[in-house]
Amino acid sequence: MLIAIGRTGFGLCGVASTRSWDGSKYGVASGIRAEFLILDGKQIFDRLRKEQHRIQGHFPEERLIWFSEVGVKQCKVFVQKGMDWQDPKKRRECYEWLVRNLDRLHEVFAPLVKGPGIWDYMKLAWQRIKGCSWKKDV
């Protein structure tokens, strides 16, 4: 699920994966990820990474993973959680985790790009989930 944040070249992404996403040491066997994407901005990524310890302070319960490959323009900063998101009993927990972490990524990184919040996008998605009611304080 891609979410625009108001400036070309940046975005948020919610991911549900059934296998390790790239085979790297950061991949989990099955799980979910909340990502802040920088589509073509290695310099911006490097500048942000210099503030890594300060930025990590906004994520006390999660470990930020900073990912940039040589020869690839896209960079990302993400958090992930290993879980069986296909289990209907865990689906609500999955959505709440994604919303909470996408919102936190937006709050931390939006000052860079000055985009709108994700709540309008997430409210619509949440309403489409059968049997779930929406509230921001997840």
Predicted TM-score (pTM) of this structure = 0.74
- Strand 75-82 and strand 10-17: the pairing is unpaired
Residue 103 has a pLDDT of 92
Q: What is the pLDDT of residues 13-61, one digit of tens each?
A: 998 887 655 545 555 567 899 999 998 888 889 988 998 999 999 999 8
**Is residue 2 classed as helix, strand or coil in its secondary structure?**
strand
At 111, the pLDDT band (50, 70, 90 cuts) reads confident
Fold adopted by 2-128: Yope Regulator; Chain: A, (3.30.1460)
Q: What sign does the dihedral 125-82-61-46 (CA atoms) show?
A: negative
How many whole angstroms separate alpha carbon 62 and alpha carbon 43? 25
What the block records as the tokens of 37 is 């994407």
Domain definitions of the chain by residue range: 2-128
At 115, the pLDDT band (50, 70, 90 cuts) reads very low
Q: What is the pLDDT of residues 75-98, one digit of tens each?
A: 999 999 988 888 889 888 988 999
